[in-house]
Amino acid sequence: MSQTTIRLTMAQAVARFLTMQKTVVDEQTVPIFGGVFAIFGHGNVAGLGEALHGVKDTLPTYRAQNEQGMAHAAIAFAKASFRRRFMACTSSIGPGALNMVTAAALAHVNRLPVLLLPGDVFANRLPDPVLQQVENFADGTVTANDCFRPVSRYFDRITRPEQIMPALRRAMQVLTDPAECGPVTLSLCQDVQAEAYDYPESFFAEKIWPVRRTMPDADEFAAAATALLHASKPVIIAGGGVLYSEASAALTTFAERYGVPVLETQAGKSSLPHEHKLNMGSVGVTGTSASNALAEEADLVLAVGTRLQDFTTGSWALFKNQNMQIVGLNVQVFDAYKHGALPLVADARAGLEALHVALTGWQADPEWTARAKAGKDEWLVAADRATSSTNAELPSDAQVIGAVQRARENAILVCAAGGLPGELHKLWRAQGPGSYHMEYGFSTMGYEIAGGLGVKLARPNDDVVVMVGDGSYMMLNSEIASSIMLGAKLTIVVLDNAGYGCINRLQMATGGANFNNLLKDTHHVTLPGIDFAAHAASMGAISRKVKSLAELETALQESEGNDRTTVIVIDTDPLITTEAGGHWWDVAVPEVSERAQVNAARQAYVEALKAQRAG
């Protein structure tokens, strides 16, 4: 029997296929693609641009201002959707495509799905070299898009129209797989986008992608359960996998039933409400005193859905108990085995629920649990002190955080890089799951505003507050205009400390001279007087600069009634940071220097290395 076919260009096949991919959220079948961000150029406007126009009523196309920004927004959409839904991004060839590489790396590190569709050179090579083509003298198959290979979970270059069928099927497998999840790049040769092929109609049948919940292996589960049964001072480190698995309820039940304190990574923060007595808050380099004190003594760490990167483990010097055992509950084998852990390869929710049943009769040492709760109470006193209001001319980041929290306590907080992530990790009082949205896996300056846009598109009924330093604002702010265009109202708080304050503090801590970080310490003829409020207003935002914390709180409260994105600017102190909590971080200090400060820092560094565990 012959197949029924439909003649489409390759680009039209891509567009039609994307419209037919569905998922189920809250018992409702919805499109799995929330839309396509597009900046058109000669490499995609004629092919994919025309194809997207044909499906614009079912698959919305959003015009962005910057390719990196639009990809950040798409990634934030997926993160805010707990990876249940995601977006695609298309660019032309050359600089437009390469602008998305940083975002691809961000998605790769953070295990977040995004479909990247950059245009590419002509497959037939007849007009080579075309505008913006990168020529490799030794390899005729190389193009600029090969830069995506190391930062894509799956990469393919489409040089014939029929190749798009297996490529799109493989792309969907990766985008929806909890273990493989990450960026997919399909590099679309611009001539092939316009070529037609007789595609089977079955290729465009509706496909519903359910959530895959990997169950534990029996032997791994037995070993993990036995390790827990022999533990008296256990802790749970909750990573982003808790949120993506929608395992917050299971985590709460498990922690309460067995008296196990919960420590949160940047990606895992909001797994438990801040107020929960067993939520010790952030762990590691930017950890609370409550979390880190427990981590130092813990005899077992149940690491749930975390990559255990250096900020979480204090560069692997945080855990002082030589008999400490890690159980790596993770859907990704690569992560489950880290640091010599007992692997428990499984979905976070399924794993926690299974352990909950298997551990009946066991309990963490009651004194350990009581001590954890007391430590949490002590930390709250220190945190309140750090975030309290002040009349200082230049408030600290922590004090600004306190003002934002008091004014907009139910908002989704979005941030990414600089000094703010460390302070927010310790001090922000997250409410429900997903109310804290931090990109710290790749710590990408410039993610914040674009990320806020993506969060708002994913959760349009929620209040979204973006906190961003002046350095990140300068790197990528153009999606303010996109938020105005799309009616995606954000509240953006710009903390202006006149430079890269976070790295300046790190420079000082490692013995370095104040050099090239704060604007005043750079090579300059005249210092810039940047009016961030005026700049934001020029893109259509409502904006103002405030001179005090009290004025900031008032502005934040008033902005809730604004009809579009609002930008509020406040000057801050670049040097003050919260002293309570925290842990050493391995940043290598030069062995040889003519400066006494560096030599002293080197001695301290060598001493600190002695606490670092091997393996």
pLDDT mean over 274-280: 97
pLDDT in tens, 16-56: 999 999 999 999 999 999 999 999 999 999 999 999 999 99
pLDDT in tens, 582-591: 999 999 999 9
What is the pLDDT, as a whole number, of residue 391? 87
User: Which of 374, 403, 422 is the endpoint of a domain?
Assistant: 374
In a domain, 363, yes or no: yes
pLDDT over 70 for what percent of the chain? 100
Strand partners, 54: none
Q: How far is it, in rounded angstroms, from Cα 117 to Cα 74?
A: 13
Give the tokens for residue 73: 């927004």
What is the pLDDT, as a whole number, of residue 3? 85
Non-local CB neighbours of 606 within 8 Å, separated by 6+ positions: none
Q: Is a pLDDT exceeding 90 seen at residue 218?
A: yes
What is the pLDDT, as a whole number, of residue 497? 95
pLDDT in tens, 119-177: 999 999 999 999 999 999 999 999 999 999 999 999 999 999 999 999 999 999 999 99
Q: 3-state class of 545 per DSSP?
A: strand
Q: How far is it, in rounded angstroms, from Cα 40 to Cα 47?
A: 10
By mean pLDDT, which of 453-457, 492-496, 573-577 is the weakest? 573-577
Q: How far is it, in rounded angstroms, from Cα 76 to Cα 414?
A: 10
In a domain, 610, yes or no: no
H helices present in 41-99, as ranges: 50-54, 67-80, 95-98
pTM, to two decimals: 0.97
In a domain, 382, yes or no: no
Q: How far is it, in rounded angstroms, from Cα 330 to Cα 333?
A: 7
Cβ atoms of 189 and 195 within 8 Å: the answer is no
Is-cis flag, bond preceding 129, omega within 30? yes
The radius of gyration of the chain from alpha carbons, rounded to an integer in Å, stands at 25
Cβ atoms of 9 and 47 within 8 Å: the answer is yes
Q: Using alpha carbons, list the distances in angstroms from residue 82 to 97, 112, 583.
A: 26, 9, 29
What is the pLDDT, as a whole number, of residue 242? 98
In a domain, 584, yes or no: no
In a domain, 580, yes or no: no
Residues 202 and 228 in one domain: no
Residues 346 and 482 in one domain: no
Cβ atoms < 10 Å from Cβ of 528: 9
Residues 235 and 265 in one domain: yes
User: Which of 374, 404, 423 is the endpoint of a domain?
Assistant: 374
Residues 279 and 201 in one domain: no
Residues 91 and 22 in one domain: yes
Residues 404 and 367 in one domain: no
Distance between alpha carbon 25 and the CA centroid of its chain, in Å? 21
Q: Is a pLDDT exceeding 70 seen at residue 1?
A: no
User: Which range marks the domain in which residue 494 is found?
Assistant: 388-571
What is the pLDDT, as a whole number, of residue 392? 87
Residues 409 and 509 in one domain: yes
- Indicate which CATH number applies to the domain containing 328: 3.40.50.1220
Q: How far is it, in rounded angstroms, from Cα 148 to Cα 465?
A: 31
In a domain, 595, yes or no: no
Q: Is a pLDDT exceeding 80 seen at residue 231?
A: yes
Evaluate the CA torsion angle 146, 149, 151, 153 in order and state its sign. positive
pLDDT mean over 503-515: 94
In a domain, 592, yes or no: no
pLDDT mean over 500-526: 93
Strand partners, 158: 188
User: Which of 208, 241, 276 is the endpoint of a domain?
Assistant: 208
Residues 279 and 327 in one domain: yes
Give the tokens for residue 407: 């004014």
Residues 204 and 255 in one domain: no
Residue 24 phi, psi dihedral angles, 5° rounding: -120, 120
Q: How many domains does the chain have?
A: 3
pLDDT: which is higher, 172 or 576: 172
Per DSSP, the residues of 366-425 read HHHHHHHHHHHHHHHHHHHHHH-----SS--HHHHHHHHHHH-TTSEEEE-SSSHHHHHH
Non-local CB neighbours of 399 within 8 Å, separated by 6+ positions: 386, 387, 388, 389, 390, 392, 549
pLDDT mean over 277-298: 98
Residues 182 and 71 in one domain: yes
pLDDT mean over 406-433: 96
Phi-psi group of 290: left, alpha or beta (phi > 0 → left; psi -120 to 50 → alpha; rest → beta): alpha
What band does 615 get if pLDDT is binned at 50, 70 and 90? low
In a domain, 581, yes or no: no
Residues 202 and 306 in one domain: no
What is the pLDDT, as a whole number, of residue 425? 98
Q: How far is it, in rounded angstroms, from Cα 498 to Cα 466?
A: 19
Residues 162 and 226 in one domain: no
Q: Is a pLDDT exceeding 70 seen at residue 12?
A: yes
- Indicate which CATH number applies to the domain containing 470: 3.40.50.970
pLDDT mean over 46-75: 98
